[in-house]
Amino acid sequence: MRLELHKVKVRDVQWGEKTCVKDGVLYVNKQAAINCVKEEERFAKVDLELARPGESTRIIPIKDAIEPRVKLTGKGGYYPGFSAPMGRCGDGKTFVLDGAAVLTCGPIVAFQEGFVDMSGPGAVYTPFSATQNIIMVVEPIKDLDPHQYELILREGGLKLAVWLAEQCKDAPADVVEVFEKGTVPEESAKYPQLPKVIYVCMNITQGLLHDTYVYAADIRPSLPTLLHPNEVLDGAMVSGNCVSACDKNTTWHHVHNPIVAALYARHGKELNFLGVIPTQESTVMDGKLRASQMNLSIARELGAEGVIVSEEGYGNPDTDLCLNARNFENAGIKSVVVSDEAAGTDGASQSLADATPEMTAFISTGNVNEMLEVPAMDKVIGWPETIAHLSGGAAESLREDGSMFVEMQAIIASTAEIGFNRVGCEWI
C-alpha cells in the first residue's frame, strides 16, 4: 500500500474573492464557505472567523479540529463514509493544506469542550496556536437533541475542511510525503530478524457523545480491529468525542498520529511495524475485559513481540490501560503505555485512577491539573462564559478583565496522549 501526501504549506489565511492557495496564503471566499455549511438546515446560525498564530485571540469552546484534505485519486472526497464514498483509504494521492485547520466552535455538551489561545502562555500547550485556523461558529435550531447537534457539528466541520481542500487541489505541492508498506506477511518475510511491534490506540467509546469513528462506524459496540498504518494517516479515524479537552484526540490528531509516524520511520530498520489496533474504552467491566483480551488476541496472532498502548481520557479508562499492560506483559509481549496524569494541582496525588504492577514502562504527557493563568485577549471567538462549565474551569475562572485562571485540562490537546504536545516528564 502506497500513500502520497501532496502538501501545500499554508503560512497565512485571508478572506478573498476566490477560495484558493497562492504563495503560502490560503484565501477563503467567506460567503461560499458559509453556504457550504448552511446546507445543513438544523443550524440556526452559521458564521466563520479566522485566527492566526501570534494574534491576541481566544477561541472557546472548541469541539473538533480537522485538517483540510481531499483525495486526488479514486472517487475524491475524504473521510470515507462521511465526506467520501465508503472504501478503503490509505492508498493513492491525497492533497493536504498543511498548516491549516478547521475548528468547530459551539456550546454543545458544556464541560468537555476546551479553548485555544493564539498567543500568550496558553498558546504553548496546543498545536492549534500554530495553525492557520478557519473557525466554524454555529448555533443549532431550538430544542435540537444534543446527539443530533453533535452529529451536524462533526459532519459540518468535516464537510467544510474537505470543501476548502477541493477548491485548492490544483495548487502544486511544496512537498510530497510517501508512506509505503506491504501486508503483514510480506513485511515479516522481508524483515524476519526485526522485532515485531504493534500499536494499540485506545479511544473514548462511551456513548453520550463520547465516541470515535472508524470508516464512519461508531466503534463503541464493535470489537477491536486491525488497520494498516496508512489507513490511520489517511482519514480512516474521526473524532466524535467530548472527552476533557486536554487529552481529546481530535480528527486532526488522528491523521498526524506521532506514534504511527515514529514507528513507520523505524520500520524495516529497527523494527517491523505490524499495524494499528483502534480499540474501545468501555464504561462496563465486561467491555473493558473483552476489548483488552481481543487486543491481545490480535497481537498474538500476528506474532507481536512489543506493543505501544496510548490512552484517551482518564478516570475509568485508566482501568483499560492497566488491563492492556497486564495482559500483554503476562503473555510475554513487552508493553509501553502513553498517558497523561491527573495528579492534583500540586502534582502529589496518585496519577492514575487504577494501577497494576505489570505496567513498568510509562510515558507521561503531563499533569492535567496544573494551574495556568492566561491573560485577556483582544478578541474572543465564541462564548467566553462557558469556561465556568469546562473541565478544568470554574465559575470564578473568568475574571472581569477577561483573564482566566484554569487547569491545563481546559486547553485543547494540552496533554494529548498520543504524544502530540509540548509537555511531559523525564527521569533526572
Q: Where are the domains of the chain?
A: 2-410
Given the residues 242, 246, 322, 425, select the one marked as catalytic: 242
- The full DSSP string for 133-168 is EEEEEEEEPTT--HHHHHHHHHHHHHHHHHHHHHHH
242 classed as catalytic: yes
* pLDDT tens digits in sequence order for the chain, 428 residues long: 999 999 999 999 999 999 999 999 999 999 999 999 999 999 999 999 999 999 999 999 999 999 999 999 988 999 999 999 999 999 999 999 999 999 999 876 554 689 999 999 999 999 999 999 999 999 999 888 888 888 899 999 999 999 999 999 999 999 999 999 999 999 999 999 999 999 999 998 887 778 899 999 999 998 999 999 999 999 999 998 777 889 889 999 999 999 999 999 999 999 999 999 999 999 999 999 999 999 999 999 999 999 999 999 888 999 999 999 999 999 999 999 999 999 999 988 999 999 999 999 999 999 999 999 999 999 999 999 989 988 899 999 999 999 999 999 999 999 999 988 877 555 55
d(CA 259, CA 243): 20
CB-based contact 364:35 (threshold 8 Å)? no
Considering the entire predicted model, what is its pTM?
A: 0.94
Distance, CA of 225 to CA of 234 (rounded, Å): 17
Q: Which three cell numbers stand for residue 35?
A: 453556504
